[in-house]
A and B are shown apart, each in its own frame.
Chain A
C-alpha cells in the first residue's frame, strides 16, 4: 500500500472519565478521521487509560485506541493481559505508550520487553476450536516466556491470547522518550529529536499550515501529525475540517490498524510476524 498520512491526537481531560463526556468525544474523533486517539500523556494521566480503552472499543469502529501506561504503577502481566482483551474487543485497534515519568531508569523499557515476551508466548495459530474432535488449541504453540529484566521477572505463559495485532502499536513520545529501538510510532519532540520508530509524527497545533505539512510528508520528513488536545470536543471537529483531506482517501479502508496504517510488527520486536487468528467454528 502507499504510505498513509497518519492523523493522531492525545487527550487528558479528567471529564473524559465519565460516559456523558467520553461518548461524544469518541464520536467526534471518528468523525474527524483520526487514526489514533491516545488517552493520557506524559504528566497528565487523570484516568486509567486501559479501562477507558475497553469502554471505547464497542462504541467506535475505526479509531485506533492508544493507552498510556505508567511504568511505575503497573505490572507487565496485567498490562499484557488487558491490552490483549482490548485488542480482541476492538478487532485489532489497540496501541500503547509506556510513560516513564517518575519511574527508575530502564523500567519503561523493561515493561515493553516483558509484555512483548508474554504476547510472544502464544502462537498466531494456537486456537483450533474443533468441537467434533474436542481439540481447543495446539499446546505446542504455547511457551513460557521466562522473561527476566532488571525490574520485572515474569514466567508466563500469559493467560491471554496473543492479540489480533500480534503486538499493539507501540507509541513513543519524543518529549518523554523511552529507549526502544523498534517502536511503531514516534512523536517528534520539541527539540526535533525523533524516537526510533517505523513512522514519525510531527506534533503540531490546530493552526498548522496544511500545505506545508503535506509537502513535508511527501518529502518523507514526517509520516503524519499529532495534536495535543486541550478541549477535545471543540477541537476534534476543527481537525476534521482542516486536516481531514489528508486522510480522506483512507476513510473507508478496512482491516486492523497495522493493515490500514501499513505497519507490520518490526522483525526485531517479535518472534512471529502475525497476530492471533480465531478459527470460525463449524
Chain B
C-alpha cells in the first residue's frame, strides 16, 4: 500500500451537484433514464480508479407544500437497482447504496443487500440512513417521522439484525464474498457521529475547508477509538465538487456560468424545498415571507428560522435571498482552479489529516466526471497518490479494510 493514498468515491445522484447543472451543455438530463448512460459512467469511475460509486436517496418526491418543482432535475431512480445494473458492466468499482433503516425491515434489507453482494462479486456497500424528511412518513402509512433518538435506536437494532441475517445467508451459501456489505454512514449530529463511530467503515461528510475536515476526522477517530475500534479501519471521505479550467480565472468564469444558468424561478423552487414551504406564489422582488414560512414549514422550525431571519432583517428580497442560498450549497468544498491546483489541494488535505480521500460530486453529469478522470486522476497517479490498478476485487480490498474474516460471524 502506497503512503497516504487518496481514496476516491463518486457521488452520482441526479445530474450533478449544482441545481442548474442539468442545463449545462455537457449535461445529459435524458441520460439518467437509460442504461447506456450508467454503463458509461460506471466504466469512467473504474477508469479513474474510484473505490466506489455512491448514490444518495430520499423516500419522498421533491417539492414543498404538495407542489412538484418544474425546474429541478428529478425524480431519482432506485439506487440499489442502478448500482446493481452498473455491477453487471464493471469488475472492480464498489457500489454503495443509501437505504433507510426506518422504512425497511431487517429482512428486506438483508435480502436486498445480500443479493447485491452476491451478484456483484463482493462490491456492495450500504450507506445507512435513518431518513430525516417528514414528507417520507405518509408514503409508509404514518403521519410523522419517529423522533430522532428513536430512529437511531432503531437503526442500531436493524443493523445488528441485518448482520445476523447476512451471517446466516453466508453460511447457507452461496457465500457473501465480503461476509456482508461494507457499512457506510453520513450522520452529522452527535447521535449520527456516535452511531457512525460504532458502526461505519467509511464516512461521508461535508467539510467546506481543510480545518473543518481536520476537526471532523479528528473527532470521528477519537469516537471510534473510545468504542474500542481501530481508527485506521474507518475511511473518512468528505464531499468535493469542482469546476476545472486552464487557469483559475477560467475556472471561476465557468463556475459563474453554471450558476447563471439558474433563474429566480429555479432558485425559489430550490429554496422552497430546502425550507419545506412552497414559496412560488410570492413575488421575488418582495420581502421574505417569514411568517408564512414558519407557519407552514414541515421542517424543524428553529433551523428554518435560523436560515431565514438574518436575510429578512436585512430586508433582502426573496429572489435575491433564493439566488444567494442556491449559490452556497450545503457546506461542501467546491474547488475552482486548474487540475494541478486541485491535485495539490487534495494532497494537502490528505497530508494534513483532513480526510482519507474524497467523495467527488461532479458539478454536472457526465461532463464533470469526465473532466476529473481525464485531467486530475493522471496527476494524482503521477504523484504516487492514486493507485494505477485495483488491489483485488471486493470493496473491502479496494478500501484496504480488514478482510471478511473480521466481520463474518
Residues of A near any B CB (own CB < 8 A): 14-15, 17-19, 22, 47-48, 50-59, 73-75, 77-78, 81-82, 84-86, 88-91, 122, 127, 129, 131, 134-139, 142, 144, 152-161, 276, 278-281
Sort A-B residue pairs by CB-CB distance and give the 6 closest, nearest first. A155-B138, A51-B115, A85-B81, A48-B115, A85-B77, A153-B141
Complex CA–CA separation, A154 to B58 (angstroms): 15
Q: Mark B148-161, 1 if CB is under 8 A from A, else 0.
A: 00000000000000
Other 15 A-B pairs with CB < 8 A, given A51-B119, A55-B88, A152-B141: A14-B173, A48-B116, A51-B84, A59-B89, A73-B107, A89-B34, A89-B81, A131-B24, A134-B23, A138-B70, A144-B66, A153-B138, A159-B62, A161-B77, A278-B34
Q: State which residues 156-174 of B face A: CB under 8 Å.
A: 173-174
Whether the Cβ atoms of A52 and B115 lie closer than 8 Å is yes
Q: Which residues on the A side are within 8 Å of B107 (C-beta)?
A: 73
Assess A159 versus B74: contact at CB under 8 Å? Given A78-B108, A134-B261: yes
Complex CA–CA separation, A281 to B22 (angstroms): 11
Q: Interface residues of B: mostly helix, strand, loop or mixed?
A: loop
Q: Interface residues of A: mostly helix, strand, loop or mixed?
A: mixed
A/B interface sample: 6 pairs, CB < 8 A: A17-B119, A58-B85, A73-B111, A89-B34, A153-B138, A278-B34
Shortest B49–chain A CB gap in Å is: 22
Complex CA–CA separation, A14 to B171 (angstroms): 13
Shortest B125–chain A CB gap in Å is: 14
Whether the Cβ atoms of A278 and B139 lie closer than 8 Å is no
Q: Which residues on the A side are within 8 Å of B27 (C-beta)?
A: 131
B305 close to A (CB within 8 Å): no
Q: Which residues on the B side are within 8 Å of A56 (C-beta)?
A: 88
Question: Which among A15, A136, A278 is the interface contact of B72 at CB below 8 angstroms?
Answer: A136
Select from chain B the residue with minimum beta-carbon distance to A23: B88
Whether the Cβ atoms of A159 and B81 lie closer than 8 Å is no
B282 close to A (CB within 8 Å): no
Q: Which residues on the B side are within 8 Å of A58 (C-beta)?
A: 35, 38-39, 85, 88-89
Question: Which among A55, A90, A91, A144 is the interface contact of B119 at CB below 8 angstroms?
Answer: A55
Residues of B near any A CB (own CB < 8 A): 20, 22-25, 27-30, 33-35, 38-39, 58-62, 66-78, 80-82, 84-85, 87-89, 103-105, 107-108, 111-112, 114-116, 118-121, 138-141, 173-174, 261-263, 265-266
Question: Which among A22, A55, A88, A142 is the interface contact of B77 at CB below 8 angstroms?
Answer: A88
Question: Which among B30, B67, B80, B263 is the interface contact of A278 at CB below 8 angstroms?
Answer: B30
Q: Which residues on the B side are within 8 Å of A137 (C-beta)?
A: 68, 70, 74
Assess A89 versus B29: contact at CB under 8 Å? Given A58-B88, A135-B71: no
Select from chain A the residue with minimum beta-carbon distance to B23: A131
Give the residue among B22, B88, B104 with the most A Cβ atoms within 10 A. B88
Complex CA–CA separation, A22 to B82 (angstroms): 18
Complex CA–CA separation, A88 to B59 (angstroms): 19
Whether the Cβ atoms of A14 and B174 lie closer than 8 Å is yes
Assess A134 versus B266: contact at CB under 8 Å? Given A18-B118, A89-B85: yes
Whether the Cβ atoms of B59 and A77 lie closer than 8 Å is yes
Whether the Cβ atoms of A154 and B141 lie closer than 8 Å is yes
Complex CA–CA separation, A74 to B82 (angstroms): 19
Assess A17 versus B141: contact at CB under 8 Å? Given A55-B84, A56-B88, A136-B29: no
Q: Which residues on the B side are within 8 Å of A51 (C-beta)?
A: 80-81, 84, 112, 115-116, 119
Q: Which residues on the A side are within 8 Å of B75 (C-beta)?
A: 122, 158-161
Shortest B188–chain A CB gap in Å is: 23
Whether the Cβ atoms of A156 and B174 lie closer than 8 Å is no
Complex CA–CA separation, A233 to B175 (angstroms): 21
Q: Which residues on the B side are within 8 Å of A59 (C-beta)?
A: 88-89
Assess A84 versus B78: contact at CB under 8 Å? Given A17-B115, A18-B174, A89-B35: yes
Whether the Cβ atoms of A91 and B70 lie closer than 8 Å is no
Q: Which residues on the A side are within 8 Å of B262 (C-beta)?
A: 134
Give the residue among B67, B68, B87 with the most A Cβ atoms within 10 A. B68
Select from chain A the residue with minimum beta-carbon distance to B67: A139
Whether the Cβ atoms of B30 and A157 lie closer than 8 Å is no
Assess A74 versus B108: contact at CB under 8 Å? Given A48-B115, A58-B89: yes
Complex CA–CA separation, A192 to B109 (angstroms): 37
Complex CA–CA separation, A155 to B103 (angstroms): 14
Q: Which residues on the A side are within 8 Å of B38 (C-beta)?
A: 58, 89
Assess A131 versus B119: contact at CB under 8 Å? Given A88-B33, A88-B77, A160-B75: no
Whether the Cβ atoms of A134 and B71 lie closer than 8 Å is yes
Shortest B354–chain A CB gap in Å is: 34
Select from chain A the residue with minimum beta-carbon distance to B263: A134
Whether the Cβ atoms of A134 and B174 lie closer than 8 Å is no
Complex CA–CA separation, A59 to B266 (angstroms): 38
Q: Which residues on the A side are within 8 Å of B120 (C-beta)?
A: 19, 55
Complex CA–CA separation, A153 to B73 (angstroms): 27
Q: Which residues on the B side are within 8 Å of A135 (C-beta)?
A: 70-71
Q: Which residues on the A side are within 8 Å of B82 (C-beta)?
A: 54, 85, 89
Complex CA–CA separation, A153 to B138 (angstroms): 8
Shortest B407–chain A CB gap in Å is: 20
